[in-house]
Structure 1
Amino acid sequence: MHPKKEPTRPIPTGPRPTGPRLLLPGAALVLAGALATGCSSGSSSTTASSSPSASTSGSPSAPARSSGNQLQDDYQKVIANVLPSVVQITTPSGLGSGIVYDSKGDIVTNAHVVGSAKTFTVTLANSGKALQATLVGSFPESDLAVIKLDSPPGGLKPASFGDSGKVEVGQITLAMGSPLGLSSSVTQGIVSATGRTVSEPNGGNSPGATIGNMVQTSAAINPGNSGGALVNLSSQVIGINTLAATDPEMNGGAAPGIGFAIPAATITNIADQLIKDGKVGNSGRAALGISARTSFNADFQPAGAVIVSVTPGGPADAAGLQPGDVITKVGDTAVTTLNSLTTALAALQPGAKVTVTYEREGAARTAEVTLGSL
């Protein structure tokens, strides 16, 4: 099935689309472009036979609908159901996307989309009228934020969020948002992997967050897609488009088919707290209850994460860890920097028991720690 070629649309001028890019190690480039998805050619479709013996009734039978046409119908149904819930958000420094969360006008998006702004202009998918919105709350640690329309119009259509635990590799996905400022755009792909732990780059509006349990997708994600919806064929949002990989051998150009979305369970957990309290008291992310920095050895090479302070009564304190201890391993994961410690914890859950290996006065030790919440 070949899509009809449309005239090229000019890229609109104005605020720059926002969206952090993940620097992809060269070793992972073999995966780029290896997987093709979408409608197949006509050779895989089936139709009813035109032979007279194929029908026993006196009236002609209707042609069977091809599998390719059925998939197209499924796509169009999902787009009709979900696209009205996806908005474009404009800030003084850029633009991104968001998802209508409830009928009261709350919209969930990425923290890096809102940045430090407090007020925003929102454009709904089914209207060209600019609406004003105000920040409800932001949680950069999970790169999520909620804004609210000042005067919500009637007929707002909140999105339906799916069960993150049922997302499986191979499921068809549609990414909806405003890539490069092209509002109400849709791309398609599949779930390429689940349970990814990804660290965002620092700089610009990007909070440099390390986020666990992300959904990897082959659907194209570009600047401006951030905050938009990653959707399954049941018209459910399974993630917020957040991050696209870049290829260092292409001078930071996009690595095709490698994007990441924050899972629905994280979205609803954080959004519900921001809407209710304006802050997050339970992120669902594991924590040791310490502040730390990267430790360097005598050769000035990163050699662990040294504890600067310990939260009284927190997990590390209860396990006997002290300021000055250098953490070198969490479970079976080696820790060489503060970032690697954050990444190791992002892959774990609050309440989990883990062995922390550390050095104190040059001697290696271990402690059993019951992780708390960030």
Structure 2
Amino acid sequence: MDITRTRALRLVLPLAVLALVSGCSGAGFPGARDSSTTRAAQALAQQSGGDLQSEYQRVIKDVLPSVVQIQASRELGSGIVYDDKGHILTNAHVVGNEKTFKVTTANSENTLTARLVSSYPQQDLAVVKLDQVPSGLKAATFGDSAKVEVGQIVLAMGSPLGLSSSVTQGIVSATGRTVTEGSSDGGTGATIANMVQTSAAINPGNSGGALVNLNGQVIGIPTLAATDPSFGGSAPGIGFAIPASTVKTIADQIVRTGKVTDSGRAALGITGRTVVDQNYQPAGVAVVSVKSGGAADKAGIQAGDIITRLGDTDITTITSLTEALAQDKPGDRTSVTFTRNGSQKKADVTLGQQ
């Protein structure tokens, strides 16, 4: 997805909105009543602010012990205690290609060791397991992604820049985002659908931590922040988290069998590359090879074909094809428009699984 740069204006609002009244003074003038109304409004605002602060503190006290810091030889990130057996959930880009890690739990300086169970870079998720499970290890509670709504207050917990047990706050800015990670900056290059966009600050080291609602439920795994293309740095207030439903689907399989056997991700069964037109603009995806027995093979798509449309979505790059497929499920029927030897063709396809 393209993130365009905007200039933000900071607006400071008072705690309570005051009613302004003009007129003469007098025993029966409404201004006297407005004064008491103003004091009541201020008291109510202060009480509401105190209630919200108490909610924050309650959630932090409840969830933060389930958030850990993970140290690989080159990468530092965060993780979430998944169960009482010592399984820790994190991002695949945090573990990289390594097999052993150092783990520090919240409010503790004791370093634990852990080993990789399995990594699934296609969804940027991984599970590691503590070699020794400390007493009192508390598993996090995961929420229902379908109930996440724009405007919900959320807290991001993790170890940004190595500052363990850090908490930031924001709201759910959007849901259903499809985002493709970069691969040159340490990401896996994965295209992930249905991500939760949040204004809570997400910085290097937050990856693999917890995005939490005020019910103390993990609704997502903070994974990446948008970058400002004008400067190459992060775009403040635009971060993305993998939704809890996806997290549980992948993590449950890894914990149970040691690998992902049902990705839930649709696939055409091809390898491809972006092609450009005479103006050097992206113009489609050239099919390099076709998996025998895969969706494209069954539909008659061949190596050398150039895919230009999937269903109702124009395809110009390999990334746009991946993002379009991320919206579908294995078994869905769609159409593929492509050119072969200069002629446009169209095929009905039943999508397979990645």
| 2:222 matched residue in structure 1 | 241
Is 1:295 aligned to residue 295 of structure 2? no
Given candidates 339, 342, 354, the residue that maps to 2:322 is 342
3-state SS of paired residue (2:223): strand
| 2:290 matched residue in structure 1 | 310
| 2:256 matched residue in structure 1 | 276
Letter in 2 for 1:85: S
> Relative contact order (alpha carbons < 8 A, sep ≥ 6): 1 or 2 greater?
1
Report the CA distance between 1:350 and its aligned residue: 2.1
Report the CA distance between 1:35 and its aligned residue: 9.1
Is 1:185 aligned to residue 161 of structure 2? no
Report the CA distance between 1:272 and its aligned residue: 1.2
1:253–1:168 distance in 2 versus 1, CA, 3 Å: same
1:310–1:34 distance in 2 versus 1, CA, 3 Å: farther
Given candidates 257, 260, 265, the residue that maps to 2:240 is 260
Report the CA distance between 1:356 and its aligned residue: 1.1
Q: Distance in 1 between matches of 2:278 and 2:16?
A: 65
**Which structure has the greater CA radius of gyration?**
2
Q: Distance in 2 between matches of 1:234 and 1:315?
A: 42
Letter in 1 for 2:158: G
| 1:6 matched residue in structure 2 | none
Given candidates 54, 60, 67, the residue that maps to 1:79 is 60
Q: With the length of structure 1 as denominator, give the TM-score of the two structures.
A: 0.83
Q: Distance in 1 between matches of 2:278 and 2:63?
A: 56
Report the CA distance between 1:206 and its aligned residue: 1.6
Q: Distance in 2 between matches of 1:162 and 1:294?
A: 38
- Please tell me whether the aligned partners of residues 107 and 165 of structure 2 are also in contact (alpha carbons under 8 angstroms): no
Q: How does 1:312-327 map to 2 (within 5 A)?
A: 312-327=292-307
| 1:373 matched residue in structure 2 | 353
Q: How does 1:30-45 map to 2 (within 5 A)?
A: 30=6, 33=8, 41-43=14-16
Letter in 2 for 1:295: V
Is 1:88 aligned to residue 64 of structure 2? no
1:150–1:226 distance in 2 versus 1, CA, 3 Å: same
- Please tell me whether the aligned partners of residues 88 and 122 of structure 1 are also in contact (alpha carbons under 8 angstroms): yes
Is 1:150 aligned to residue 123 of structure 2? no
Given candidates 188, 194, 198, the residue that maps to 1:207 is 188
- Please tell me whether the aligned partners of residues 5 and 229 of structure 2 are also in contact (alpha carbons under 8 angstroms): no
1:306–1:286 distance in 2 versus 1, CA, 3 Å: same
- Please tell me whether the aligned partners of residues 123 and 131 of structure 1 are also in contact (alpha carbons under 8 angstroms): yes
Report the CA distance between 1:298 and its aligned residue: 4.7
Letter in 2 for 1:351: G
- Please tell me whether the aligned partners of residues 140 and 207 of structure 1 are also in contact (alpha carbons under 8 angstroms): yes
- Please tell me whether the aligned partners of residues 96 and 226 of structure 1 are also in contact (alpha carbons under 8 angstroms): yes
Q: Distance in 2 between matches of 1:262 and 1:309?
A: 31
3-state SS of paired residue (1:206): coil
- Please tell me whether the aligned partners of residues 33 and 257 of structure 1 are also in contact (alpha carbons under 8 angstroms): no
| 1:131 matched residue in structure 2 | 112
1:283–1:36 distance in 2 versus 1, CA, 3 Å: farther
Report the CA distance between 1:372 and its aligned residue: 1.8
| 1:7 matched residue in structure 2 | none
Q: Distance in 2 between matches of 1:273 and 1:170?
A: 32
Report the CA distance between 1:352 and its aligned residue: 1.9
Q: How does 1:14-53 map to 2 (within 5 A)?
A: 25=3, 28-30=4-6, 33=8, 41-43=14-16
Given candidates 189, 199, 211, the residue that maps to 1:230 is 211
Q: Distance in 2 between matches of 1:197 and 1:69?
A: 37
Q: Distance in 1 between matches of 2:72 and 2:134?
A: 20
Identity, % of aligned positions? 62
- Please tell me whether the aligned partners of residues 90 and 125 of structure 2 are also in contact (alpha carbons under 8 angstroms): yes
Q: Distance in 2 between matches of 1:42 and 1:139?
A: 46
Q: Distance in 1 between matches of 2:204 and 2:190?
A: 17
Letter in 2 for 1:352: D
Letter in 2 for 1:363: S
Report the CA distance between 1:105 and its aligned residue: 0.4
Q: Distance in 2 between matches of 1:70 and 1:187?
A: 18
Note the alpha carbon deviations across 1:56-85, whole angstroms, 9 max, x for none: xxxxxxx87711111111111111111000
Q: Distance in 2 between matches of 1:153 and 1:44?
A: 50
Q: Distance in 2 between matches of 1:332 and 1:208?
A: 25
Report the CA distance between 1:349 and its aligned residue: 2.1
Q: Distance in 2 between matches of 1:146 and 1:319?
A: 37
- Please tell me whether the aligned partners of residues 33 and 256 of structure 1 are also in contact (alpha carbons under 8 angstroms): no
CA RMSD after TM alignment: 2.3
Letter in 2 for 1:212: A
Note the alpha carbon deviations across 1:83-102, whole angstroms, 9 max, x for none: 00000001100210000000
**Which sections of structure 1, spanning at least 5 residues, go unmatched?**
1-21, 46-50, 52-62
3-state SS of paired residue (1:248): coil
Q: Distance in 1 between matches of 2:65 and 2:17?
A: 33
Q: Distance in 1 between matches of 2:324 and 2:141?
A: 31
Report the CA distance between 1:36 and its aligned residue: 8.0
Letter in 2 for 1:100: V
